[in-house]
Homo-oligomer: A and B are copies of this chain.
Amino acid sequence: MTSHTGLQLTQASPHQVLDRCRELVEPALRTAVQSLHPWPRLMGSFSFGWCDAGGAPGAAAGGKGVRQALAVLGAEAVGAPAGAAVAGAVAVELVHAFSLVHDDIMDGDERRRHGESVWKAFGTGPAVLAGDALFALAVETLAGAGGEHAAAAVRLLAGALRELVAGQADDLLFEARPWTGPEAVRIPEYEAMTAGKTGSLLGCALSLGPVLAGASPAVVGVLAEAGRHLGAAFQAVDDLLGIWGDPAATGKPVHADLLRGKKTLPVLAALAADGPAARRLAGLLGPAAPLDTDGAYRAAGLIEEAGGRDLTLAEAHRRVAAARECLWGVPLAPRTTDELLALTGFLVERRL
């Protein structure tokens, strides 16, 4: 692992950190989901990869658990009580699961984490219900975490949810807008969309523990900012994987983002670059008609040739570095800092 800020290399392995946090959080997460009505319970468990659509245990791989890990580390960083940290981690993981279940409906995504998406397996109406159940459970978990800072924590989560919805709204609206011309989506719009869609929940995850522990607004703010940077880095890498990721690793079809006209950073960065490849890409994407598989293949080549791939990876590294700068700016528990750094590295290096 290389450090882009010249900081000391971390000793922790990101997978060890993710595993440790998962062991800490997953029992409480399962207990919470278990408390739901049997039907949303089944669909929720399925969405976490704990069972197949019939309820038989352990079918698909679950998510990486990045958000729960950030929540645990954020709490440990400021010495929050373990119980509060776990409740916060459960809440952000539930919100993430809710947003995936509903986003897959909105995006028409049939695949998720190497299996069917919830709406594909159970139907659209039931999937709406499952998402609602997970959403409500998140709020209930956090509000029930007790302590004098529960209301502030819920306010933080609610603010993140507002941004999440706004980001998802822009993401959907951008699909219908052109790649070129006066109506084209510009990079600042993309950045605002990503800040909502991905940055808000990662910022919330990392700052929720400090809020629950009653940490100073300065510390809360810095960790929230670090989380937002990590969200931007995470999304940039997701965008890369959406074009060049191995379907066997991502569990999603190849070139899916391109075929749908999703406004992702590699394409926007390529179009904004000067040069012949950028102009050929603009010519290919200019017509209102969606790309076919052959067009998507050619577009991927031109995006890379125009520098969109490198620029996006550089942006991911830049945002990770910015997150690390934030973390160095506040006094945190040393072991936690080490683990956080390990995790930030993982966010850009996963599956690339």
Residues of chain A whose beta carbon lies under 8 Å from any beta carbon of chain B: 36-37, 39-40, 102, 105-108, 124-126, 128-129, 131-133, 135-137, 139-140, 143-144, 146, 150-151, 154-155, 157-159, 161-162, 164-166, 168-170, 172-173
Contacts and interface: CB of A to CB of B under 8 A. Distances in A.
B158 A139 contact: yes
B139 A169 contact: no
B139 A161 contact: yes
Contact of A172 (B107, B126, B164): B126
Given A126-B106, A128-B128, A129-B102, A136 B151 contact: no
A101 to B, nearest CB: 9
A273 B105 CA distance: 43
A288 B147 CA distance: 52
Given A126-B172, A143-B151, A172-B126, A166 B37 contact: yes
A161 B144 contact: no
Given A39-B173, A144-B155, A154-B154, A165 B128 contact: no
Contacts of A143: 151, 154-155, 158
The winner among A105, A128, A150, A161 for most chain B CB atoms within 10 A is A128
Given A154-B151, A158-B140, A133 B37 contact: no
A211 to B, nearest CB: 12
The winner among A157, A162, A170 for most chain B CB atoms within 10 A is A162
Given A37-B166, A165-B40, A172-B129, A136 B124 contact: no
Nearest to A150: B151
Contacts of A105: 124-125, 128
A134 to B, nearest CB: 9
| Chain copies in complex | 2
Contacts of A107: 125
Contacts of A144: 155, 158
Contact of A140 (B39, B126, B161): B161
Contacts of A133: 162, 165, 169
Nearest to A147: B151
A124 B125 CA distance: 10
Contact of A37 (B36, B139, B170): B170
Contact of A129 (B106, B132, B137, B155): B106
Given A132-B135, A137-B162, A161-B139, A169 B102 contact: no
28 contacts: A37-B169, A37-B170, A39-B169, A39-B172, A40-B165, A102-B128, A102-B132, A105-B124, A106-B126, A106-B128, A124-B124, A126-B172, A131-B132, A132-B161, A132-B165, A133-B162, A133-B169, A136-B162, A137-B162, A139-B158, A139-B161, A140-B158, A140-B161, A143-B155, A143-B158, A150-B151, A151-B151, A154-B154
Nearest to A99: B132
Contacts of A162: 36, 133, 136-137, 140
Contacts of A108: 125
A166 B108 CA distance: 26
